[in-house]
Each structure stands twice: as structure tokens, then as C-alpha cells.
């Protein structure tokens, strides 16, 4: 019974539930603190702002993933995280999913910091695009599997459509989305999926590109630390 209960728990997307719970909790705290569209509240809860990162608040490359601006922002990203997160966690496993989600959020925020240097940014979309980028890795790796490629195509198309829409919408951080997507692809290539990893050469190339590109973005946005 104990073993069966453990297996049922292990098969649940508890990382997705945890990330969603934290995201909703942060939004509620924003609302209680004065409103999720108030600039000071957003900064208080960790929105990305380059001048504060340059002052040593490097954690603002992580915390924006959990901060949202307005009700529609949290609803859209929350629903996307719930459905896309459950599927991605089931395919990649708990810890790989968590690493892709977190690190692609950071690469997205770095890209945002480079190309949107004067603005304030927040939202889980950098990480969500990272999950879509992970499906590009699946498509590239499992081209002989029609089920996986069909599923991957759906999310690659979704990412493409969203990026096109970003071009015509004001206030959308398209560079954060692109940075998250590319980061998700590279991170997923390095990590692989359970019982299958990319070739060692592909892993090394992806890791080198990820580290070099991230370092270049840090230098471009903030100069040498």
C-alpha cells in the first residue's frame, strides 16, 4: 500500500502544482499590497529592473517568473502553466521539468534585460516559452516517432503564433519570450528525457552555447560584475 501510494504521488505533476500555487500566492500578495499594476508593488515583489540588478539584486532575474501585472496576465499564464506544465512534467520528469522552467525563465529575463533595458518586466511567459522550446528539442530528437512529433508541432506552432502576435501588441516583451524559447531548447537538449539523452556532442554544444550566450547577455546588459 505504501509503495503504491508513493508511485501514485510520483506520477502526479506536483512540481506544476507547486509552481502554480506559488504564482497565485504571489499575485494575491501583490493585490493585498496595493495592486498588481502598481509599479512600486511590482518592484517590491521582484519585477525585473536593470538598475536594481546592477545594484546587486541579481535575484531579479528569477523572481519575475512569479510576478504578474494585472488579472488577465495571471489568468492567461496560470492556465497555460497548468496544462502545458502537466504535460511537460509528465514527459521530462519532475526535476528536469523544474530545471527547464527555472533556467529558461532566467535566459528569457536576460534577453529582456538586454533589449528592454529601461523597462520593468514580469511574468511566467519567459518560462512558458521555455517549455515550448523544450518541445522543439523533442521534435528534433524523436523525428521517427509520429506521436511525439505531432505533439511537438502543436506547441512549436503555438510559440510561433504567439511571437507573431507579440509583434502587433504593445507592452509585450517579445525578447523575453524569444530568450525563454531558445533557452528552453538548449536546456532540454542538455538534460534529455528519462531513459534517453541526446548524443554527448549535442549536449556539449548546447551547454557551451547556453553558457556563452548567457554570459554575453549578462555582459551586454550589466557589464562585468
- Roughly what angle, to the nearest 10 degrees, separates helices 174-191 and 125-141? 40
Cell of 114: 538586454
- Is 177 labeled as catalytic in the residue annotation? yes
- Is 94 labeled as catalytic in the residue annotation? no
Catalytic one among 104, 177, 198, 214? Answer: 177
Identify the three-state secondary structure at position 171.
Answer: coil
Catalytic one among 104, 112, 125, 214? Answer: 125
User: Residue 80 and residue 162: Cα distance in Å, rounded?
Assistant: 12
Q: What are phi and psi of 13, to 5 degrees?
A: -80, 60
For 24-42, b/e burial (b = at least 16 CB within 10 A) is eebbeebeeeeebeeeebb
Residues forming the active site: 125, 177
Amino acid at each position: 500500500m505504501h509503495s503504491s501510494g508513493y508511485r501514485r504521488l510520483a506520477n502526479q505533476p506536483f512540481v506544476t502544482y507547486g509552481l502554480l500555487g506559488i504564482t497565485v500566492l504571489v499575485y494575491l500578495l501583490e493585490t493585498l499590497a496595493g495592486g498588481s499594476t502598481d509599479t512600486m508593488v511590482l518592484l517590491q515583489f521582484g519585477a525585473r529592473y536593470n538598475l536594481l540588478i546592477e545594484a546587486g539584486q541579481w535575484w531579479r532575474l528569477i523572481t519575475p517568473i512569479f510576478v504578474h501585472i494585472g488579472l488577465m496576465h495571471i489568468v492567461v499564464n496560470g492556465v497555460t502553466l497548468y496544462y502545458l506544465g502537466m504535460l511537460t512534467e509528465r514527459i521530462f520528469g519532475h526535476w528536469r521539468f523544474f530545471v527547464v522552467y527555472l533556467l529558461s525563465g532566467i535566459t528569457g529575463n536576460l534577453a529582456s534585460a538586454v533589449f528592454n533595458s529601461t523597462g520593468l518586466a514580469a511574468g511566467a511567459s519567459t518560462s512558458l516559452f521555455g517549455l515550448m522550446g523544450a518541445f522543439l528539442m523533442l521534435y528534433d530528437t524523436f523525428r521517427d516517432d509520429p506521436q511525439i512529433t505531432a505533439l511537438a508541432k502543436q506547441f512549436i506552432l503555438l510559440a510561433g503564433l504567439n511571437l507573431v502576435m507579440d509583434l502587433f501588441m504593445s507592452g509585450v516583451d517579445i525578447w523575453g519570450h524569444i530568450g525563454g524559447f531558445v533557452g528552453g531548447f538548449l536546456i532540454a537538449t542538455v538534460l534529455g528525457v528519462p531513459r534517453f539523452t541526446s548524443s554527448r556532442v549535442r549536449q556539449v554544444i548546447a551547454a557551451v552555447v547556453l553558457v556563452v550566450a548567457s554570459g554575453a547577455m549578462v555582459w551586454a546588459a550589466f557589464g562585468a560584475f
